[in-house]
Amino acid sequence: MADTIILEVERFHPERDTEPSYQSFEVPLRADWMVLDALNYIKDQLDGSLTFRWSCRMGICGSCGMMINGVPKLTCETLLTNFAPGPVRVGPLDHFPVVKDLVVEMDDFMAKLQKVRPWIVRKDDFEPQREFIQTPAQLEAFHQFSLCINCTLCYAACPVSGLDSNFIGPAAIALAHRYNLDSRDQGQEDRLDIISQHEGIWDCTVVGECSVVCPKGVDPSLAIQQYKLTATKEWFKSFLLPRGKN
């Protein structure tokens, strides 16, 4: 195995460039390095202006998502030697506006996330005197979808996110679904108003890439299709029983 590997990193300076370009860096090819280590090597030793996000370096904060050879990945979890002899193309996440180099603007995603109200919604004035009791079965119902770390790799993988910037997107819908399935939550109706619009679940064409790239096994595609079943059931109910809920 060679000693070094070439990283072709996408550079974009908002004050100088109108379009991104690629810059090549030669970094050591160490057996235990992740792509994030290579990027930090570049920033420390070769070009201090390289800008990118990272934090926990252990796959839980969701900060370091980037396109590696055209596939969205967490750079802290992607082994560098997987790409030997290289070169490796590193770029900012697809379908997001690029602020600088490998940093993307997340405001749109944050707004979409807020829209679906990803928290326990109570319709009553119930003040719990102790924590809510949940059986293991009740936890199992939503646990898988609660593993989302908001890394937005799914948005980068989803072609509909690129084609329609209004699409609420896999992570937001999966999180809405997580709360719908939570036995403590009473907000299903409110979320359905947002989700069952065209920019919600109905924009999804089941490409399935979101579930393939998810680093935590959330399977947002499954959540979206389940939500379609729920929304369809509610639609038929409202159609056949138009006088509304009791």
Partner 1 sequence: MPQYMTFQPKPYRPRMSAYWYLDQWHYLRYALRESSSFFVAYFCVITLIQIAALKAGPTHYAHFQALMRCPVVIVVNAFALIFILLHAVTWFLLVPRVALRQMLNKPTPDLIASAPNFMVWFGATVIVALFILGVF
Partner 2 sequence: MSSAKRSNEPIVWFLFGVGGFFAAYFLPIHIALYGLAFPLGLAADPGYDKTYALLQNPLTRIYLAVLLTFCFFHAAHRIRLTLSDILNMRHLNTILAFVCYGGAIAGTVCALWMLAVVH
d(CA 55, CA 63): 6
| Contacts (Cβ under 8 Å, ≥6 apart) of 189 | 245
In the chain the first and final C-alpha atoms are separated, in Å, by 69
Residue 73 binding target from partner 2, partner 1, none, CB below 5 to 8 Å by type: none
Residue 97 binding target from partner 1, partner 2, none, CB below 5 to 8 Å by type: partner 1
Residues that bind partner 2 (CB under 8 A): 159-160, 163-164, 189-190, 192-193, 196-198, 200, 202, 205, 228, 231-232, 234-236, 238
Q: Which is nearer to partner 1, 121 or 212 (CB)?
A: 212
Q: Which is nearer to partner 1, 57 or 212 (CB)?
A: 212
Residue 155 binding target from partner 1, partner 2, none, CB below 5 to 8 Å by type: none
230 binds partner 1 (CB under 8 A): yes
Segment 37-96, which members bind partner 1 (CB under 8 A)? 70-71, 94-95
111 binds partner 1 (CB under 8 A): no
Residue 8 binding target from partner 2, partner 1, none, CB below 5 to 8 Å by type: none
216 binds partner 1 (CB under 8 A): no
226 binds partner 1 (CB under 8 A): yes
- Under the rule (CB under 8 A), what is the footprint of partner 1? 12, 14-15, 17-20, 70-71, 94-95, 97-99, 105, 137, 140-141, 144, 159, 162-163, 181, 205-209, 212, 222, 225-226, 229-230
